[in-house]
Structure 1
């Protein structure tokens, strides 16, 4: 049996990144469509003001300022797409900011499948929080870990994100309590029905392949807990 070459392993990791980007694309698109909708409404109101018998200059000025602000937001949103390129040099990210961004991107889709995301108090933003380099790589890694738990777990689960020491994150899936108050047992990968929003599920192999390609150490415990360091190995 032939072993996968380094190039093949890189292609596997690239495929995982593509799947992750596809999953968060609706949220990214929503963030950019919002300013466009506001701009269209502003243009309509401005047109009515201009076509009216008496032009209200103050109202026109306000509409122009609104449109200008939304254009700025739209430009910022388009530029932010560069942040997904691994080759882009960035200023890094804090652990809390990384968690907040990834949770915001995945929460809508996860909620549709009955999975909640909870951020532990240990991940609240604080002054003097260190910044970790390679924000794009860390973003892909965290999204992959969360997607792994989402795809492998049973419905109605709760994924908790917590700080681990000063340089790591721990992701843990637990089941919601049933009618008798007892928590359902976590269903490891393969035991649960395929729950990916699309046909390509993120499994342990996909998670490990991405971590290896990005240069980070990730561990998956028997109970499904995922832990990874923010520092590249």
Structure 2
């Protein structure tokens, strides 16, 4: 199967020219701005827990010296949460300044996007589902993050109403055809439109998705309610990375 990048106006018309680099950079910035609240939450949640535990320990010390076992257990929990907080901050930093040659298994890369966006989409009355089968196909983490996040945001913004978004894929040895589908929910009498809550930044449109696809070398097209992309396999060629202690 061969997919081609297509125009937003015609839905199926092949794009004839590549978009300038600054269009892709603007699209990346727009997507990151929309992801910022979720990224900030992931970054601070463990650090807030460390601060709360420190306050509890301080209060106990004011009332009297806790037992050595209790003190040791509290220090161990704080150490664990601090490690998790460092790991979370490194993950957030990777969204902002990614490694271009980093690979990820297809389903895992898509799940990173779905997990990050699920809560904010729920507030808008939308559900997210990752129906991508588990496989050993390694793809570019940067490409998957940019295109899947942009596709989800673009389809939800265009729908303007509560909807169910599902990501599926057909996996081949050298590539995967990933489909992001948006299905509007039947309107209920008296229901409040959850999407009346406007995004914290501008909408992500089809031109943004196209610009990112060109920059990442991914072919895709869009119909009324779905985006289909052909994500090529990527062979890892970067140095081994040491996990943070």
TM-score higher than 0.5 here? Answer: yes
Evaluate the alpha carbon distance shift between residue 87 and residue 55 of structure 1 in structure 2; reply closer, same or farther with a 3 A threshold.
closer
User: Structure 2: how far apart are the matches of 1:217 and 1:232?
Assistant: 13
Greater displacement, 13-22 / 32-41: 32-41
User: Structure 1: how far apart are the matches of 2:220 and 2:53?
Assistant: 48
Matched, 1:35 2:46: yes
Matched, 1:202 2:204: yes
Secondary structure, counterpart of 1:230 in structure 2: strand
With structure 2 as the length reference, what TM-score do the two structures score? 0.76
User: Structure 1: how far apart are the matches of 2:61 and 2:150?
Assistant: 51
Deviations 1:93-123 (CA, angstroms, capped at 9, x unpaired)? 1121122111111122222222221233xx2
With structure 1 as the length reference, what TM-score do the two structures score? 0.79
- Which of 108, 126, 129 lines up with 2:136 in the alignment? 129
8 Å CA contact 1:93–1:135 kept in 2: the answer is: yes
- Aligned positions, number: 209
Structure 1: gaps of 5 or more residues: 181-192
Matched, 1:113 2:152: no
- Which of 37, 42, 45 lines up with 1:26 in the alignment? 37
1:9 paired residue number: 20
Evaluate the alpha carbon distance shift between residue 129 and residue 87 of structure 1 in structure 2; reply closer, same or farther with a 3 A threshold.
closer
Matched, 1:144 2:150: yes
User: Structure 2: how far apart are the matches of 1:89 and 1:30?
Assistant: 27
2:62 paired residue number: 51
Larger relative CO (CA 8 A, sep 6+): 1 or 2?
2
8 Å CA contact 2:104–2:141 kept in 1: the answer is: yes
Instruction: Quote how far apart the aligned CAs of 1:232 are.
Output: 7.2
8 Å CA contact 1:152–1:195 kept in 2: the answer is: no
Evaluate the alpha carbon distance shift between residue 57 and residue 155 of structure 1 in structure 2; reply closer, same or farther with a 3 A threshold.
same
1:185 paired residue number: none
Evaluate the alpha carbon distance shift between residue 175 and residue 56 of structure 1 in structure 2; reply closer, same or farther with a 3 A threshold.
same
